[in-house]
């Protein structure tokens, strides 16, 4: 093809049919309370790891729902399981179990 000097921006559309939803399904089946997340950010504000580096559970939720699970392992490994997020969550989500279940799912569907 002739080079006209233009670049084409990579397609950023998220194709829900293409993505791997096993992780999301596994987590929601085993910790249904995660359904209730309203992405308020309370967990992120209190997070011990988030205090040191960019890490938040809302982002995990988004990545899971979009099925963009490639970077998830790197992300989840930042958690220290201290449990502060669980205590501040206004929706009563068992966040620590969410983390453990994501870890388990990554191991399972690798």
Partner 1 sequence: MAYHHFVLPFSIGMAALFAILMVKFTIWIVKLESVDKRLIRKNLFSVKTLDAMGEVFMESLLHRKIFRKNPMLGYMHMSLAFGWFLLILFGNFQAQFYTRTMLHPPYFPIFFNFFVTTSEEYLFKASFEFLMDLFLLIVLTGLFIAISKRFYSRIVGLKKTTKLKFFDKLALTSLWFIFPLRLLAESFTSGLYNNGDFLTGSLGSFFARHLMVEKLALPAWWGYSLALGFFFVALPYSRYMHIPAEVLLIFLRKYGVRTRREFTSYSDIEVRSCSRCGICIDACQINNALGINNIQSVYFLRSIRERSVGDEKLFTCMLCGRCENICPVGIQLSDLRMTQRNKNGVQNTSTYDFLVPPKYKVADVLYFAGCMTHLTPAIKKSMLKIFDIAGVNYYFMDSDKEACCGRPLIQSGHYENAAKLMEYNKKLIRQSKAKVLVTSCPICYKTFKEDYKLNIHVMHHTEYILKLVEVGILLLEKGDSKVVYHDPCELGRGLGIYEEPRILLNKVARLLHPDEERENAFCCGGSLGSFNLSTQQRNIIRDDALAKLMKPNPDKLITACPLCKKTFSKGTKVQVLDIAELVAASVIVPEAKKALDMQKHETVLVE
Among 20, 29, 68, 73, binds partner 1 (CB under 8 A): 73
Length of the chain: 110
Rounded CA gap, 20 and 22, in Å? Answer: 6
Q: Is the Cβ of residue 14 or residue 81 nearer to partner 1 in the bound state?
A: 81
CA distance 68 to 83: 25
- Dist. CA 95–CA 71, nearest whole Å: 19
* Full DSSP string of 56-77: -HHHHHHHHHHT--TTHHHHHT
In 2-104, DSSP assigns E strands to: none
- Least Å distance between CB 103 and partner 1? 5
Site string for partner 1, 8-47 (x = CB under 8 A): -------------------------x------------x-
Judged by CB, which is closer to partner 1: 16, or 91?
91
What is the binding site for partner 1 (CB under 8 A)?
33, 46, 48-49, 51-53, 73, 77-84, 86-89, 92-94, 96-97, 100, 103-104, 107
């Amino acid at each position: 093809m002739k080079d006209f000097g233009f670049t084409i921006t990579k397609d950023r559309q998220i194709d829900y049919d293409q993505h791997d939803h096993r992780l999301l399904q596994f987590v929601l089946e085993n910790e249904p309370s995660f359904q209730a997340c309203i992405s308020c950010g309370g967990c992120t504000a209190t997070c011990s790891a988030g205090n040191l580096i960019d890490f938040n559970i809302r982002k995990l939720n988004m990545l899971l729902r979009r099925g963009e699970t490639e970077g998830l392992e790197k992300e989840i490994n930042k958690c220290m399981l201290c449990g502060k997020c669980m205590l501040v969550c206004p929706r009563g989500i068992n966040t620590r179990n969410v983390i453990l279940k994501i870890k388990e799912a990554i191991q399972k569907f690798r």
